[in-house]
Amino acid sequence: MRKKTLVCCIAVSASVSAWSAAPAQDGDLSAHDTDGDGAISLEEFQGMLDEAEWYAELDADSSGGIDRKEAGDVDSHGGFSALDRNSDDELSIDEFAKGLFDHYDEDGDGVLDEDEFRTFHEGVAAGAWERGRA
């Protein structure tokens, strides 16, 4: 499941031009740690994606979900289906954010610590998503 989710996230994210307005340009976790606990929760991560308008850019038809066409041809890898938890053939912001979040939450503790957030930020800043290496 984790591999399929990663494949989908990479393919979906490759659709994004450059994330030049990347949140926390310097990789500073505190800029998005709204509750001050020293980690990024799924809710904070989702807010970060909303701020960057990354999801909105992928939702080209403004339907409120990323459909298979907008996601690109990822279902051949099973990734889209793995993320589409309610099987409605669209990835909601919740489903999309959860897929990315789970990929970077290496220890599975439900938050991105400083190292995990840095890994996320470095991957985006380096354009790894666009090259399929994140």
45 within some domain? yes
53 within some domain? yes
Q: Domain count of the chain? A: 1
E-only strand ranges, the chain: 40-41, 66-67, 90-91, 111-112
102 within some domain? yes
Which of the 8 DSSP states describes residue 75?
Answer: G
Model confidence, pTM? 0.70
Query: Residues near 20 by Cβ (< 8 Å), separated by ≥ 6?
Result: none
23 within some domain? no
93 within some domain? yes
22 within some domain? no
- Domain extent at residue 9: 2-16+30-131
21 within some domain? no
24 within some domain? no
Q: pLDDT tens digits, residue range 81-131?
A: 888 889 999 989 889 889 889 989 999 999 999 999 998 888 776 654 443
